[in-house]
Amino acid sequence: MNLEEYVSKDATELASLVAGGEVTAPQLLELARRRAYDVDGKLNSIVARTDSAADDAAQTFGRGPFAGVPFLLKDLAQEYKGYPTSYGSRSLADDIATENSLITQRFLDAGLVVFGKTNTPELGAKGVTESDYWGPARNPWNLHRTPGGSSGGSGAAVAAGIVPAAGANDGGGSIRIPAACNGLVGLKLSRGLSPYGPQTGEIMFGMVSQGVVSRTVRDSAALYDAIVGPDPSAGYLAQFPTERFVDAIRTRPTGLRIGWSTSSTVNPSPHPEAVAAVEHAAALLEELGHHVEEVPQPYDDWALSRDFLTIWFAQVYAQVAEIKARTGAKNSDFEADTLAVAEYGRHTGFVAPVAALENTKVYTQSLAAFHRKFDFLLTPTLATPPLRIGAASTPPMMQRAARAAGVLRAGRIMDLTGILDDVVQNNLGWVPYTQLANVTGRPAISVPVHWTSDGLPLGVQFVGHLGSDGALLRLAAQIEEAAPWIHRFPATATPV
């Protein structure tokens, strides 16, 4: 197999070739490394290598469904024994994992050969991947644009053909945003289906989901089959799917009821390309025989964004405090934005996040009411095309003020300035649609059905009812069959 052939194939086909003896795992690993050598100097998608473990794994990869296929973990909440998991932060640069996380172990049990870890923003706290520690990851479709976040390194690596799929996780859109930015498939599972631990329990009260980004629906289906299952450290017993995802996508749905909306009070004027993406998807769905209609926004997204960020800020405060206590990290080991967010989370105390958590039932009930009439909610995944690198960066003067606020415990002053509303507008304005699924625990998938006039991917999102993960993948497979995208490839990621 040559490099061009390797890049053109998805993980399912590569695994089949290994199983049939047409190519070996060490040969695939060498091709993945060559591809990374060719393109990642421009992308900065891989921030750590696990070469010794990968060489061993390529020789003893077992018989899992993806035996011998090269793979990358996200450098956040996907711990790999013997290697650090930095979470994109200097504060965790030397935090060596003493055991595999459960999600990593399931990837390894599936036969995947992990040879590195991908770039992520500090603590996964942004929708772009531009940490001070690792530097910005870049979008292979346009090197001046972001690949999204917080799984942006994984998205860039998959889109560029380094690997056919990569580890990701999603606490507010961090699988779906990179999928939309890079022309990939990105499913966020129903709450409770993906494993956490043993290093941590569910993050953000179950709002964070483990998973992957991939180039094809069948890869996502099979990879989720490999990772979904009982978690011995879970606090409750989830109801797992009775049908394998790879079996679910073998049939095509008929007569679905799909309500679509591009409305957002967070971003009242989404980019025309984002609107065009949804309109394009709606027209395609009608051609496929589904009932599609425009609907009013079924929830208050401004209120949801405020509640989401209140919970998020409290999470960041707790996380920074835990890292400091466990590792001895100092304020200088964190970014200014992180310190400011942590200080605001400290200032709000426990009443505000508890009230925000209580409010989540309102959004859950609103979405449940919507799903009594419709199977899926269709929205843009992004309100704008992928941002330019640096567009979401805090100006240097504001960074100095943010760092001072963290040191001086100026949370009350920050509160009086209306910072929460500013953060909603400035950070969620381009991604106002994705937090709904995390807050309500519902599954959602981003599918690459649209490219802008200047060649950038711009996915659309489907949000389903609780437990409709297989149905979402089935619909995505139907869309993929009707409007395939695997033949699309970013020119800027071609070998040099």
DSSP string, 56-92: HHHHS-TTSTTTT-EEEEESSS---TTSB--TT-GGG
- Give the tokens for residue 447: 């599918």
Task: Using the predicted structure, report yes or no on whether residue 101 has a pLDDT greater than 80.
Answer: yes
pLDDT of residue 424: 60
pLDDT of residue 404: 67
Q: Identify the H or E element spanning 48.
A: strand 46-49
Percent of the chain with pLDDT over 90: 85
Task: Using the predicted structure, report yes or no on whether residue 369 has a pLDDT greater than 50.
Answer: yes
Strand partners for 166: 72, 213
DSSP helix, strand, coil percent of the chain (3-state; round to 5): 45, 15, 40
pLDDT of residue 420: 57
Strand partners for 165: 214
Q: What's the sign of the alpha-carbon dihedral 455, 389, 84, 41?
A: positive
Arithmetic mean of pLDDT, 454-476: 97
* 151-189 per-position pLDDT tens digit: 999 999 999 999 999 999 999 999 999 999 999 999 999
pLDDT of residue 61: 75
Peptide bond into 16 cis (omega under 30): no
Task: Using the predicted structure, report yes or no on whether residue 140 has a pLDDT greater than 90.
Answer: yes
List all residues 6 or more positions away from 365 whose beta carbon is below 8 Å from its beta carbon.
Answer: none
pLDDT of residue 8: 95
SS3 152: helix
Q: Distance between CA atoms of 240 and 37, rounded to whole angstroms?
A: 40
At residue 385 the predicted structure's pLDDT band, cuts being 50, 70 and 90, is very high
pLDDT of residue 426: 73
Q: Distance between CA atoms of 482 and 291, rounded to whole angstroms?
A: 17
Task: Using the predicted structure, report yes or no on whether residue 272 has a pLDDT greater than 70.
Answer: yes
What is the DSSP track for 85-110?
--TT-GGGTT-B-SS--HHHHHHHHT
Residue recorded with tokens 């941002």: 387
* 392-411 per-position pLDDT tens digit: 887 776 667 667 666 656 56
* 27-43 per-position pLDDT tens digit: 999 999 999 999 999 99
Q: Distance between CA atoms of 13 and 66, rounded to whole angstroms?
A: 9
- Give the tokens for residue 316: 């960041």
Arithmetic mean of pLDDT, 185-207: 92
The answer to whether 157 and 45 have CB atoms below 8 angstroms apart is yes
pLDDT of residue 410: 59
pLDDT of residue 340: 87
Task: Using the predicted structure, report yes or no on whether residue 127 has a pLDDT greater than 80.
Answer: yes
At residue 496 the predicted structure's pLDDT band, cuts being 50, 70 and 90, is very low
pLDDT of residue 407: 62
More confident residue, 327 or 426: 327
Main-chain dihedrals φ then ψ at residue 60, nearest 5 degrees: -135, 55
CB atoms within 10 A of CB 257: 13
Arithmetic mean of pLDDT, 371-383: 98
Global pTM reads: 0.96
Which among 86, 131, 154, 174 is annotated as catalytic?
174
Catalytic, 194? Answer no
More confident residue, 492 or 483: 483
Catalytic, 150? Answer yes
Which among 9, 45, 74, 131 is annotated as catalytic?
74
Catalytic, 151? Answer no
* 206-242 per-position pLDDT tens digit: 999 999 999 999 999 999 999 999 888 788 888 999 9
* 422-440 per-position pLDDT tens digit: 666 678 999 999 999 999 9
List all residues 6 or more positions away from 38 whose beta carbon is below 8 Å from its beta carbon.
Answer: 3, 495, 496
Which among 89, 91, 131, 150 is annotated as catalytic?
150
More confident residue, 495 or 389: 389
Strand partners for 279: none
- Give the tokens for residue 332: 């200088």
Task: Using the predicted structure, report yes or no on whether residue 254 has a pLDDT greater than 80.
Answer: yes
pLDDT of residue 224: 98
pLDDT of residue 63: 83
Query: Which has the closest alpha carbon to 448: 284, 301, 304?
Result: 284
Q: Distance between CA atoms of 148 and 392, rounded to whole angstroms?
A: 11
- Give the tokens for residue 381: 């995944």
For strand 113-118 and strand 46-49, is the pairing parallel, antiparallel, or unpaired?
Answer: antiparallel
Percent of the chain with pLDDT over 70: 94
Task: Using the predicted structure, report yes or no on whether residue 476 has a pLDDT greater than 50.
Answer: yes
CB atoms within 10 A of CB 268: 10
